[in-house]
Amino acid sequence: MSYTKITLRYAAAFFDLAGEKGIIESAFEDMTLLGNVCTSNHDFVRMLQNPVINADKKTKVITGIFAASVTPVSLSFMSLMIRKRRERYLPSIAEAFADLYKASKGIKTAYVTSAVQLVEKEKAGVLDILSKLTDKKIDLVEKINENLIGGFVVNIDNFQVDQSIASKIKELKKDFEKNLFIKGF
């Protein structure tokens, strides 16, 4: 994903702080939790982005939701973002932090989109091929898109492999639109 400069700077600063405190693993879990909450609860994100809601109320909401499940350093970081009026960046910061963590551990994220849920054997095959190609551990993120009809699309970094039935049909359609008829035969 592409991030803004401000998102990357805050994520990198928090990553460095977590490294200094020796809590990178815990901070990663905390940022993953924050990202999951932001993904699953759009009202929470709207609350963060709403300039009318007072910073104190936002801090109380964050504390109420996360105080029991995150480290004090992570909670302080989230509160600092609210005090500095940067709370709208928290979902992106959480995602950027996760990417920094994965990069530090030598893990690449691969996105597999398929028409149906992949079976464990298929997942294992995709993971094996991608880990051999990249020489890194792979974190596989699955998506379902029924419009693919069948097959799959794999995205990793700036590389894409499209083996979907929908793309094959599009290619055939383009080939048939060409008039290959030669008069006289």
Token pair 């005090």: residue = 83
pLDDT in tens, 92-130: 999 999 999 999 999 999 999 999 999 999 999 999 999
The residue-averaged pLDDT of 130-145 equals 93
pLDDT in tens, 69-84: 999 999 999 999 999 9
Residue 46 reports pLDDT greater than 70? yes
Contact 27, 74 (CB under 8 A): yes
**For residue 22, how many other CB atoms are within 10 A of its CB?**
8
Residue 184 reports pLDDT greater than 80? no
Bridge-partner residues for 109, per DSSP? 139
pLDDT value at residue 22: 96
The residue-averaged pLDDT of 24-38 equals 97
- Write the single-letter amino acid at 138: I
The residue-averaged pLDDT of 17-21 equals 97
The residue-averaged pLDDT of 171-175 equals 87
pLDDT value at residue 1: 61
pLDDT value at residue 66: 97
> Given pLDDT bands bounded at 50, 70 and 90, which one contains residue 181?
low
Residue 13 reports pLDDT greater than 70? yes
Residues above pLDDT 90, as percent of the chain: 89
Structure token digits, residue 140: 């596989």
Residues above pLDDT 70, as percent of the chain: 95
HSE of 19, CA atoms in CB hemisphere, 13 A: 11
Contact 89, 7 (CB under 8 A): yes
